[in-house]
Amino acid sequence: MVAEIGHFSLWLALAVAVCQVLLPGVGFHKDDERLRAVAVPAAQAQLLLALISFGALTWVFWVSDFSVRVVAENSHTLKPALYKITGVWANHEGSMLLWVTILALAGWAVATFGRSLNERLRTRVLSVQALIGIGFYVFLLVASNPFERLLPAPGEGNGLNPLLQDPGLAFHPPMLYLGYVGLSVTFSFAVAALLENQVNPEWARRMRPWVLAAWAALTGGLALGSWWAYYELGWGGWWFWDPVENAALMPWLAATALLHSTLVLEKRDALRNWTVLLAVLAFSLSMLGTFIVRSGLLTSVHSFAVDPERGIFILVLLALYIGGALTLYAWRAGTVEAGATFAATSREGSLVINNLLLAAILGTVFLGTLYPMALEAVAGEKISVGAPYFNATFRPLMVPVAALMAVGPFLPWRKAAGGRRVARRLALPALLALLSALTVYAFADTRGAWALLGVGLAVWLAASIFADIARQVRLGHGGPRLVWGRLIRQPRAMFGMWLAHLGVAVSIFGATASGAWESEVMTTVEPGQPVSVGPYTFTLDSIMPVAGPNYTAIEGRFDVRKDDNLVVSVRPQSRTYTEPPMETTEAGIAPLWAGDIYAVLGKPDGQGRWQVRLHWKPFMPWVWYGAALMMLGGAVSMLDRRRSRVALMQPHQLAAEAAEQKLPLAAE
């Protein structure tokens, strides 16, 4: 019964979505404001119905109702409670239901928090949002119905893939989908603005919080995904350049570019067409990502749901939505007026270069991800493109991005920078970067150019942020209280930028250091036999069987010592799940500030020894600390109440700008 309620709600939500498109459409045609006003309650009703449907699916998972096919296929009565709930979206049907529920949530949020939008634009946004919803509701109901019954019902379910029984992956899809689906809002904003011919700074300002929210969620999704791969797959790496990872990275890159281009449009009324195009592309890449993951087209360590028919369905949706939006763009872009001009070495100039570089990175990731699939489809040849390709393309393009990130905030809007003044302000960060690279060269074992460059760039970027803060609070002018007062009066968007950029520096440092100075030892050991790994000595203290809620495991305890002092103990496991029968490797990880101790237990070698792989990964957790800082930055920036065009300007500029001209926004 509960399943039928969920199923029925889904049909009702589809019906409401159709109304949400049609009635306001007629309203636009007849210029009837009351018909257009239907969009808001419709969006609210859609959320309610989607939540009922999602709640129903959660309930049947919770009570292990195996007469529902997805429950029987993906759950088990012995499964821990947490994974009964997260199991709802750990399968294709449930994850698509989560997708439309978040889509409905986004629509509701626009209806609720978008009051400051002008009425026509908001109605358009909601209609486009509903149009996207229709496609996905139909996809769910026709091709992936989560409420399909299984008769007769089996007495027990198949259980959930043990690799998904993990907090890291349990919360990965909701976070990722918040990002993916958040970008649907910017897509709708773009289409709405094209329809209403309202691509302007006001539009950019209204869209920006949505871009920030989606970007922060995507950052979190990427971080959770890589963290999961790192500790759950037990191979010691954290990024595989796997198509499924790239599927999330591509929209992130587009969203990052969009974040910066909306800033230019908001503050300076430039890059109108480009911003619209990016907003369309970002969501297109989200859908492409869904298609890649759900299509079964690729061999991936991550792809779970494999079904070509569903892939074709998503491909058709993709073609309709992206094709439609791009056609509209091609038709309307010519009518978007050119925005303001600016000097090449202004803030806008630096943001344009940032956008071009991000687009170039996006292009190479796109090529490396899609080319093997295209080649196989066209020529039948099977190739694989892995880390070597991405290292050869991604890293050289990331260097100028990171280098420029430090300079951009020092450049003034619109006018050319005083080169000498900027150089003076950046002299200290440059010196620090050079010194740290030299220190690395002199004292560290690895002298690879990328290690020097990575450390140098991270220091350069971090130091420039502190130089920027020092400049904004006019450090040295006035006492500590005055300086503090100036600091806390900075707009939140400013703090957001500092935090996010600092996060990038921290992540670059973590990725560089963990790669360059990792120590790895693969060997066989007897209990009590010490093994040196980097500065540490690992000793296998004991090997014991342990029991979990739905698995048994062999657990090794390694005592890790430095200079004969016990630092920490780690307990890697080799688990055997019964439902479904499967073995997994659980790495034993101890995150220290300076790095991770990482141990993997293999199999007995038949002579009383155990296979082990032991790592010391300096600064590894910094990759994720950096991601956390980026998310925090996005959230802080999103909550900027002043969200006005002056928010990111420097105090002395404000006066000058105000006196100098009426800005486009004020003029409109």
Task: Please choose, out of 119-127, 149-157, 522-530, 558-566, the segment that lies near another protein by the rule CB under 8 A.
Answer: 522-530
Tokens of 9: 């709600």
- Helix orientation angle between 92-113 and 39-62, rounded to the nearest 10 degrees: 150
CA atoms of 306 and 317, how far apart (whole Å):
18
Does residue 352 bind another protein (CB under 8 A)? yes
Q: How far is the CB of 536 from another protein (least distance, A)?
A: 20
Among 360, 373, 404, 628, binds another protein (CB under 8 A): 360
Given a contact cutoff of 8 angstroms between Cβ atoms, the answer to whether 517 and 618 are in contact is yes
Our measurement of the distance from residue 41's CA atom to the centroid of its chain's CA atoms, rounded to an integer in Å, reads 30
Task: Please choose, out of 78-86, 353-361, 537-545, 655-663, the segment that lies near another protein by the rule CB under 8 A.
Answer: 353-361
CA atoms of 212 and 179, how far apart (whole Å):
10
Does residue 522 bind another protein (CB under 8 A)? yes
Does residue 609 bind another protein (CB under 8 A)? yes
Q: Which C-beta is closer to another protein: that of 445 or that of 520?
A: 520
What is the DSSP code (8-state) at residue 412?
P
Burial of residue 397 (number of CB atoms within 10 Å: 0-12, 13-18, 19+): middle
Does residue 345 bind another protein (CB under 8 A)? no
Q: Which C-beta is closer to another protein: that of 160 or that of 508?
A: 160
Among 134, 195, 326, 385, binds another protein (CB under 8 A): 385
- Helix orientation angle between 119-138 and 2-30, rounded to the nearest 10 degrees: 140
Residue list 279-338, contact with another protein (CB under 8 A): 299, 301-302, 304, 338
Residue 589's SS3 state is strand
Q: Which C-beta is closer to another protein: that of 3 or that of 358?
A: 358
Given a contact cutoff of 8 angstroms between Cβ atoms, the answer to whether 103 and 184 are in contact is yes
Q: Which C-beta is closer to another protein: that of 119 or that of 605?
A: 605
- Please list the alpha-helical segments (H only) found in 171-307: 172-196, 201-232, 243-268, 272-295
Q: How far is the CB of 522 from another protein (least distance, A)?
A: 6
Among 474, 603, 642, 652, binds another protein (CB under 8 A): 603
Task: Please choose, out of 340-348, 442-450, 510-518, 655-663, the segment that lies near another protein by the rule CB under 8 A.
Answer: 340-348
Our measurement of the distance from residue 75's CA atom to the centroid of its chain's CA atoms, rounded to an integer in Å, reads 28
Residue 498's SS3 state is helix
Residue 83 burial (CB count, 10 A): 24
Q: How far is the CB of 204 from another protein (least distance, A)?
A: 17
Does residue 641 bind another protein (CB under 8 A)? no
Residue list 152-171, contact with another protein (CB under 8 A): 161, 163
Q: Which C-beta is closer to another protein: that of 596 or that of 640?
A: 596
Task: Please choose, out of 417-425, 445-453, 529-537, 601-609, the segment that lies near another protein by the rule CB under 8 A.
Answer: 601-609
Burial of residue 381 (number of CB atoms within 10 Å: 0-12, 13-18, 19+): exposed
Q: Give me the half-sphere count of Cα atoms (radius 13 Å) on the Cβ side of residue 645.
A: 21
Which residues, at least 6 apart from 633, have a Cβ–Cβ distance to it below 8 Å?
216, 495, 496, 497, 498, 499, 500, 501, 502, 503
Q: Which C-beta is closer to another protein: that of 386 or that of 530?
A: 386
Q: Which C-beta is closer to another protein: that of 228 or that of 517?
A: 228
Q: How far is the CB of 555 from another protein (least distance, A)?
A: 16
Q: Which C-beta is closer to another protein: that of 53 or that of 144?
A: 144
* Binding flags for another protein, 424-443, as an x/- string (CB under 8 A): --------------------
Among 4, 148, 605, 660, binds another protein (CB under 8 A): 605
* Binding flags for another protein, 567-586, as an x/- string (CB under 8 A): -------------xxxxxx-
Q: How far is the CB of 384 from another protein (least distance, A)?
A: 5
Total of chain residues touching another protein, rule CB under 8 A: 55
What is the DSSP code (8-state) at residue 609?
-
Given a contact cutoff of 8 angstroms between Cβ atoms, the answer to whether 107 and 187 are in contact is no
Q: Per residue in 206-235, is it b (16+ CB within 10 Å) or e — as a string?
A: bbbbbbbbbbbbbbbbbbbbbbbbbbbbbe
Does residue 145 bind another protein (CB under 8 A)? no
Q: Which C-beta is closer to another protein: that of 163 or that of 639?
A: 163
Give the CA-trace dihedral at 407, 412, 413, 416, to 10 degrees: -90
Closest CA to 467 of 523, 418, 405: 405
Does residue 410 bind another protein (CB under 8 A)? no
Interaction site with another protein (CB under 8 A):
161, 163, 271, 274, 299, 301-302, 304, 338-342, 352, 356-357, 359-361, 363-364, 367-368, 371-372, 381-386, 388-389, 392-393, 396-397, 522-524, 580-585, 600, 602-603, 605-607, 609, 611, 613
